[in-house]
Each structure stands twice: as C-alpha cells, then as structure tokens.
Chain A
C-alpha cells in the first residue's frame, strides 16, 4: 500500500496542487462581488457628474451647487473683478488666474476651506471662512491664513456656452 502511494505520489501531488490552485482562484473570484458591492453604487456614481445650467446668474452673481455632496461656488465675475484677479498672483499659494478658470467670466471652485473643511462665506470681494478667519480672493486664492492652499478647482468643462458639467475635465 505504501509503495503504491509512493509510485503515484508525483501525479497525486500535481493533481492536488492543481485542484488547490483552481479552488483558490474560485474563492478569490467569489470575493470580487462582495468587495465591489461596498464601492459606490451606480446611483451614487451618477452624482459624480453634475450638470449646471448657467443662465440666470447675473454678472457678479454667485450660485452654490452640490457636486459629489460638496458645495461648488460658481461666480460670474464682472470685468472689474476679472481685471483685479488677473492683476495679482494671490498670496501664500501663488497661481495666475488664467490657470484657475476656463473662461475668465466664470470662476468654478470647490467651496471647502483648505484649512479645516468649513464652507467660506462670500463677503465683499472674495470669501471669508468664519471657522478660523481664512480669506480668499475672487479667484479663490488664499490671501490670509491659516488656510495653506487656494480653493480647489474641480474638473469641469463647458458643454455649451451656458452649460457646464462638473466632474469631468473634457
């Protein structure tokens, strides 16, 4: 009996190994749907892109829209505001205005203070965060601390003159 087992051992080992590998692959593949089910569902992903109709925002007007559950500021800047924004490079986190807009008339930034995540308020020119007093200019660039960075520009693109889609760059 022992000898018989020995003479067959090579083949048996291969068979057992093969079966273990195939079975293990099956267990691993079975994990995929379980892990995937915890990722955002399709209705949540649908919120990854938000379509915004820009008609009805007057020059100098601000509209706050929700994108992925976060507030996004859409500011229609007046020619004066554009001129002022283009004249400076901001404060702690210098960046030219041209890099922060697709169309100088429209500023689109995520309305979450880069310091501790509060939502800044529009006050006079720019925004002020009331949590810790950070200030941003009309290009969303930080002009007074403690915020370390400019307001983030979300990926967006113009689908027509008066319509943007936030969430996708092109």
Chain B
C-alpha cells in the first residue's frame, strides 16, 4: 500500500529521487567534526522561532497602549505563556550563538573559498535578514530598551545622504518611534522569517551543488564520502540534544539573564534610561559605531563591519586549502580576531569612558586591519609554507589547481 502511494507520487513528482539525492543519500565527507553541526542547529532554531512566534502572536497586541500589557498577559495568564515567551526570547540569542559559531567555523577552515563563494554570500544575506528580524522583534515588548534601541537604530539612517531626516521619518511613520513604527515592525517581524526560510532553501541548494567543505580543505574522493543518513542524521540529533540542554538551562533557570531589567519598564519617550545597551549579539558592531567620532563615519563603519565578511573569498589569496589547519599564521590571525570581537563586545557593553573609547578605537582598527592585512599575510604565508614543505596531498591539490588555471588560460 505504502509503496503503491509512493509509486503514484513518483510518477508525478520526484519524491523518492529527491529524498535519496538530497537527504538520505546525500554524499557527505566522513571527516566532518562537530563544528559542522551548527548549520543544522541554525535550521532547528529557525523552526523553533517560527513556531513559538506564531503562538505568541495569537496573544500579542501591536499597539503602544496595549503591547506591554499583552506581554504581561502572556507571562501571567496564558497557559504556558511564560514558557513560549522565554523560549522565543532565549531562542533569539541561541540563533545568533549558533550562527556565530557556524560563521567562525567557515572562517577557520576557509570554507568560503572557491567554489563556495555563493554559499558564503547567501549566508551573509541570511545574517543580515536575521539581524533585521531580531532588531524589529526587540521593539515589540515596548519596554524602555525596546523603545530606545529602535530610536537609536532608526536614527542611524540619518546618515543617508541628502534625505537623512526624511528617511528616518519614513521608516518610523512618525516623528518619533510610535504606534505606526510598532505596527510595521510587527508586520515585518512576522514576514521576515518566511523570507529567511526562502533564503535558507537557496543556501541549501548552493550547498548541495558544491557539497560540504571538510576540515582537510581538500575535496575528498568518492570513497571518503558517506551517505547523510544514518551517519549525519544521528550525529546532528546528538548535537541537538547537547544544544537543547544548554538552551533549557537558559529558558528554565536563568531566562532573565539575557533580558535587560530596563525592558521591564514600559517605554517612556520622555526619559532615556541611564545606560542603554543593545542585545549581546549586536555589541561588537555597536562598539564599532561608537568608536568612530563622526556620525556618518560610524554608521558606515558599522555597516562595513558586517558586510566585510563577504570579501573573504577575494581577500584570502592563499592557495593552501584547509584554512587554519595547514596555515599557522592564519590560525593566529583567526584567534586574535576572535579576541578582538570579545574586546569589542566588552567595550560595547560598558558606558563610554575616555579609556573604553580608546580601547574601542584600537579594537576597531584591529578589526578592519585584520581584513585589510589578509591578502598580504596570506600570500607571504603561502610562499613560506611551500618553501617549508606541505603534506603531499595538499601540494598535489595546489598543483592541480595551477594546472586547471593554465589550461583555461590556453583556451583564452
């Protein structure tokens, strides 16, 4: 009976071949480490956020006079409303945590290198969409942090040439962040996740075209690939179990650790809290914004700091595969960059003092400096490493790439 139905479908829709080609039989490098679990986790958190969000939206009211009350209604009166809200709020942080690890892995192992540029760029687009969605969602509780966060971030658009002020008013639909802003943020906060789902599909199509990268950086021979199912389904599920434990600690035991106390005060357009900070996942970028003494310059620097990752495939000129694995200098650079992000995060959290501004400025220079230096360092490092000698399979790969290139040159 079951096979009959599937046969019927298969004659009209490539169900079995799709499942075999892209899910169960999808060839996956056998040497993937647990750092390759985070893409699956991001997909899981996306689903979690959509589901909890839909249920929260059944009780939430997007109206400046009602939204704060409706959150309290969810927290106090709705059956398990507190659970849904904490799952969603912690889910936002979990999403960024997972995505940041996913990106760090890509940077460490050089997974952005050809032919995976489009995969990396669609990921970049997803990051931007995720940031926009998180930012708009943060306004919805209509607390003090929500209001002033939205005020500050919409004000960034004053840096737009010629029409700055008009653009800000257009974004808000009001002279300050108000009812119109709240309603449109809710509308878009509900819409964007579905755009994200679409973009994830594009990301996955790109992935399945070029296949997963792996820690060695060398494209493996067919014999070293194993089917996705059952090997990686179970590995991903085990990783999911570990992730859920960490997530549940936050949801059930310390949910308020990531919610600023000031957001438990209803928005008051007449009074800014003494210390406004963005959510932790925006802190490094916020620190870069504050480090530039010029308004337009700060906004541009912050924008560039997010976009600049997209240039990595061209900035990294080394032909040695495997990212940091075979490249000691790049590895040092990677860890220094991570440390720099942490410093920026700290600077972003604390109120600006002369000292912290100076540290922030140095860290900002280091941030951009590490990108600008990549082309030189990677080239010098490559020469040094080839001279020193590399594992034969790596050398073979470099040789074959050189060959390919010269062949193409002949044809031209």
Interface residues of A (CB under 8 A from B): 23, 32-34, 36-39, 41-44
* Residue in A32, A36, A43 whose CB lies within 8 Å of B77: A43
Interface residues of B (CB under 8 A from A): 51, 55, 58-59, 73, 76-81, 83-84, 237
A33 & B79 in contact (Cβ 8 Å cutoff): yes
B80 & A36 in contact (Cβ 8 Å cutoff): yes
B77 & A37 in contact (Cβ 8 Å cutoff): no
B80 to chain A, nearest CB (A): 4
Identify the closest chain B residue to A40 (Cβ). Answer: B79
B255 to chain A, nearest CB (A): 15
The CA-CA distance from A57 to B81 in the complex, in Å, is: 41
B30 to chain A, nearest CB (A): 15
B77 & A42 in contact (Cβ 8 Å cutoff): yes
Q: List 21 A-B contacts (CB under 8 A).
A: A32-B80, A33-B79, A33-B84, A34-B51, A34-B55, A34-B80, A36-B79, A36-B80, A37-B55, A37-B58, A37-B59, A37-B78, A37-B80, A37-B81, A37-B84, A38-B55, A39-B79, A42-B76, A42-B77, A43-B77, A44-B77
Residues of B contacting A36 with CB < 8 Å?
79-80
Residues of B contacting A33 with CB < 8 Å?
79-80, 83-84
The CA-CA distance from A37 to B58 in the complex, in Å, is: 9
The CA-CA distance from A120 to B79 in the complex, in Å, is: 36
Residues of B contacting A34 with CB < 8 Å?
51, 55, 80, 84
A37 & B79 in contact (Cβ 8 Å cutoff): yes
Given contacts A41-B59, A42-B77, A42-B79, 12 further A-B contacts (CB under 8 A): A23-B237, A33-B83, A33-B84, A34-B51, A36-B79, A37-B59, A37-B84, A38-B55, A39-B79, A41-B81, A43-B77, A44-B77
The CA-CA distance from A32 to B84 in the complex, in Å, is: 11
Residues of A contacting B81 with CB < 8 Å?
37, 41
Residues of A contacting B80 with CB < 8 Å?
32-34, 36-37
B53 to chain A, nearest CB (A): 12
B78 & A41 in contact (Cβ 8 Å cutoff): yes
B238 to chain A, nearest CB (A): 10
Residues of A contacting B77 with CB < 8 Å?
41-44
What is the interface of chain A mostly: helix, strand, loop, or mixed?
A: helix
List the 8 closest pairs (A to B, CB-CB), nearest first. A33-B80, A41-B77, A36-B79, A43-B77, A41-B78, A42-B77, A33-B83, A37-B79
A41-B84 contact in complex given A34-B51, A34-B55, A36-B79, C-beta closer than 8 Å: no
Residues of A contacting B84 with CB < 8 Å?
33-34, 37
Residues of B contacting A41 with CB < 8 Å?
59, 73, 77-79, 81
* Residue in A23, A38, A42, A43 whose CB lies within 8 Å of B58: A38
B242 to chain A, nearest CB (A): 14
The CA-CA distance from A33 to B81 in the complex, in Å, is: 8
Residues of A contacting B59 with CB < 8 Å?
37, 41
The CA-CA distance from A44 to B77 in the complex, in Å, is: 8
The CA-CA distance from A116 to B39 in the complex, in Å, is: 56
B264 to chain A, nearest CB (A): 20
Residues of B contacting A44 with CB < 8 Å?
77
The CA-CA distance from A39 to B77 in the complex, in Å, is: 11
Question: Could you say which of B51, B77, B78, B84 has the most chain A C-beta atoms within 10 Å of its C-beta?
Answer: B78
Identify the closest chain A residue to B241 (Cβ). Answer: A23
A16 to chain B, nearest CB (A): 9
The CA-CA distance from A38 to B59 in the complex, in Å, is: 9
The CA-CA distance from A37 to B59 in the complex, in Å, is: 9
B49 to chain A, nearest CB (A): 14
B71 to chain A, nearest CB (A): 13
Residues of B contacting A42 with CB < 8 Å?
76-79
Residues of A contacting B55 with CB < 8 Å?
34, 37-38
The CA-CA distance from A43 to B78 in the complex, in Å, is: 8
Question: Could you say which of A36, A38, A41 has the most chain B C-beta atoms within 10 Å of its C-beta?
Answer: A41
The CA-CA distance from A70 to B78 in the complex, in Å, is: 22
The CA-CA distance from A44 to B80 in the complex, in Å, is: 15
The CA-CA distance from A50 to B155 in the complex, in Å, is: 50
Residues of A contacting B58 with CB < 8 Å?
37-38
A28 to chain B, nearest CB (A): 15
The CA-CA distance from A39 to B79 in the complex, in Å, is: 7
